[in-house]
A and B are shown apart, each in its own frame.
Chain A
């Protein structure tokens, strides 16, 4: 049996994905193969190498702090799956005491 690199159920939960049992099994096999390939990076000596986050030299870009209009409320609410009283409606977040 191939090495198990990843606990798919646990990570899917972290990512707020509810997988079916069939999906979990398929992803387990596929992700183990992909992570197995990624092990090749472990053989490289990266001591003292700076990480690259962005390929272009962009740091602390500043601009004038000027007010500008944002999207109108109705334009934003138009896409909301559920709304009431000019707000986006969601299920109750706070449990009963």
Chain B
């Protein structure tokens, strides 16, 4: 097995034993990227010179000493571009500071390899909304990698990265992880600082790990979690040692199966794989309990009011004044704003800004935004009730395997409805993970990965990882 195919935990042992050097890992990944990323398109930019220098200087005694990590292109790293997959920032922005997670990765000895493609400003589920590049699913190049963290998922799946960071506002870590057959963890709201993550929807966004194994997800989460005074929503609570409970198994645990997540819209082949995963966890000693999350059907409408509302506010900073795109020869200040935004943003971003502005506008605020916030409370209570009966919840991640590139390009509502399984955990602030649950065969004979989604209560990542590890080893 080449170094690029390896995991954080395995490479850590070999680095510390002196069998390999951190530069060897960078060189092996550089060769893999040169050979394969032309067709996959996972990376928007690479900084291999800087990666070699970081690898040479890496303190191998640190938790991520010498381990290269790919970073989604909406997280600031000093001196690097941070395009958010948008023409707006691609036309003139170099990060002048480190995000909190970037600082933490540096402090843990990690090596920064490059920046991964994404849907523009993380708005999308296919990475097709990137204004800069197409990313293809490594398991079938005619298909999407999922999104919005599609570049990170594809990089890890194709062994072009050892591990990566993504961000998740309504499934943007878990759904591409599911489509690409890797592990993707969305931490609880408040577990990881959002300082230096370009904001999409501030009450929903979280940064999290995308890895080849559950153990690696635990290691990477350990490195990035923790309080930060620059993000007042990042909770001031101790970070548990996530390695402690990882191997305790599911014997005696109660795992809930919400009937609303297994309805008509779920592809039968996906359902078969997810049900098989559930059976294996039952065989490993878990008690399977049928539960109900009655407001699930309202998650899409609630999310697609709240997230665009917050986005319309957050994206008002992209005005053509301080950084990024500025339209040529503006007639006046209003013309500068309007044309910079018109020229800099792609259609999905404009659509969501308009939707968000509308639901916050005078006369519509109560009917849409205020009502959606109340329904959000009902969705949160569904989970609170469920977690009095069960330790964790099991569901599909996506209703179907990765679709073809270009399908449904003109039907955003269809795309939004396909997010049904991943939105509610963000609305409720839960931690959630996608772990591989097998594959289904496409009509062209390719094998498409399917993920199992596990949900655990707010701040219960230790429980989440324990169930995920059991699902991984029983696959």
Q: A residues near B, CB below 8 A?
A: 6, 8, 11-12, 14-19, 23, 26-27, 30-31, 33-35, 37-38, 40-42, 44, 46, 49-56, 58, 61, 63, 71, 75-76, 78-82, 88, 90-93
Report if A81-B323 is in contact (Cβ < 8 Å); known contacts: A16-B341, A44-B375, A56-B188.
yes
- Per DSSP, chain B at the interface is helix
Bound-complex Cα distance A66 to B378 (A)? 40
Residues facing A in B342-397 (CB within 8 A) are 342, 345, 347, 350-351, 353-355, 357-358, 361, 367-368, 370-378, 380
Shortest CB–CB separation between residue A43 and chain B, in angstroms?
9
Partner of A37, one of B233, B301, B373: B301
Partner of B298, one of A11, A33, A35, A40: A40
Contacts of A80 in B (CB 8 A): 321-323
Bound-complex Cα distance A76 to B323 (A)? 9
User: Are B326 and A30 within 8 A (Cβ)?
Assistant: no
Shortest CB–CB separation between residue A87 and chain B, in angstroms?
11
Most chain A beta-carbon neighbours within 10 Å: one of B354, B368, B376, B378? B354
User: Are B354 and A31 within 8 A (Cβ)?
Assistant: yes
User: Are A91 and B357 within 8 A (Cβ)?
Assistant: no
Shortest CB–CB separation between residue A78 and chain B, in angstroms?
7
Contacts of B341 in A (CB 8 A): 15-18
Contacts of A37 in B (CB 8 A): 300-301, 304, 413, 416-417
User: Are B232 and A34 within 8 A (Cβ)?
Assistant: no
Contact residues on B (Cβ < 8 Å of other chain), bracket? 35 or more
CB<8 Å pairs between A and B, sample of 12 = A14-B361, A15-B354, A17-B338, A26-B347, A27-B350, A38-B304, A44-B378, A49-B374, A50-B374, A80-B322, A81-B325, A91-B336
Contacts of A92 in B (CB 8 A): 332-333
Partner of A58, one of B235, B304, B372, B413: B235
Report if A79-B351 is in contact (Cβ < 8 Å); known contacts: A30-B413, A37-B413, A49-B374.
no
User: Are B189 and A56 within 8 A (Cβ)?
Assistant: yes
Of the candidate stretches B47-55, B91-99, B217-225, the one touching chain A is B91-99
Assess whether B428 is interfacial by the CB under 8 Å rule: yes
Assess whether B339 is interfacial by the CB under 8 Å rule: yes
Most chain B beta-carbon neighbours within 10 Å: one of A34, A91, A92? A34
Report if A34-B354 is in contact (Cβ < 8 Å); known contacts: A16-B341, A41-B375.
no
Assess whether B66 is interfacial by the CB under 8 Å rule: no
Contacts of B316 in A (CB 8 A): 15-16
Report if A15-B324 is in contact (Cβ < 8 Å); known contacts: A44-B378, A79-B92, A79-B94.
no
User: Are A61 and B232 within 8 A (Cβ)?
Assistant: yes
Number of A-B contacts (CB under 8 A): 179
Shortest CB–CB separation between residue B424 and chain A, in angstroms?
11
Partner of A15, one of B347, B353, B411: B353
Contacts of B370 in A (CB 8 A): 51
Report if A46-B376 is in contact (Cβ < 8 Å); known contacts: A41-B301, A55-B428.
no
Report if A79-B96 is in contact (Cβ < 8 Å); known contacts: A34-B304, A41-B302, A51-B370.
yes
User: Are B189 and A71 within 8 A (Cβ)?
Assistant: no
Report if A34-B353 is in contact (Cβ < 8 Å); known contacts: A42-B371, A52-B373.
no
Which residue on A lies nearest to B337, using beta carbons?
A16
Other A-B pairs beyond A44-B298, A53-B203, 13, CB < 8 Å = A27-B354, A35-B358, A37-B417, A38-B305, A40-B297, A40-B298, A42-B367, A49-B377, A52-B377, A56-B429, A79-B92, A80-B322, A90-B333
Which residue on A lies nearest to B97, using beta carbons?
A71
Bound-complex Cα distance A60 to B232 (A)? 8
Contacts of A61 in B (CB 8 A): 232
Assess whether B412 is interfacial by the CB under 8 Å rule: yes
Assess whether B104 is interfacial by the CB under 8 Å rule: no
Contacts of A38 in B (CB 8 A): 301, 304-305, 368, 372
Bound-complex Cα distance A33 to B339 (A)? 27
Partner of B413, one of A12, A23, A33, A76: A33
Contacts of A26 in B (CB 8 A): 347, 410
Assess whether B319 is interfacial by the CB under 8 Å rule: yes
- Top 6 A-B pairs ranked by shortest CB distance? A55-B429, A51-B373, A81-B326, A79-B323, A18-B338, A46-B374
User: Are B378 and A11 within 8 A (Cβ)?
Assistant: no
Partner of B373, one of A16, A53, A76: A53
Assess whether B334 is interfacial by the CB under 8 Å rule: yes
Shortest CB–CB separation between residue B339 and chain A, in angstroms?
6
Contacts of B151 in A (CB 8 A): none
Which residue on B lies nearest to A80, using beta carbons?
B322
User: Are B324 and A79 within 8 A (Cβ)?
Assistant: yes
Shortest CB–CB separation between residue B272 and chain A, in angstroms?
29
User: Are A56 and B233 within 8 A (Cβ)?
Assistant: yes
Bound-complex Cα distance A93 to B374 (A)? 41
Residues facing A in B264-309 (CB within 8 A) are 295, 297-298, 300-302, 304-305
Partner of B353, one of A17, A56, A63: A17
Contacts of A51 in B (CB 8 A): 370, 373-374, 376-377
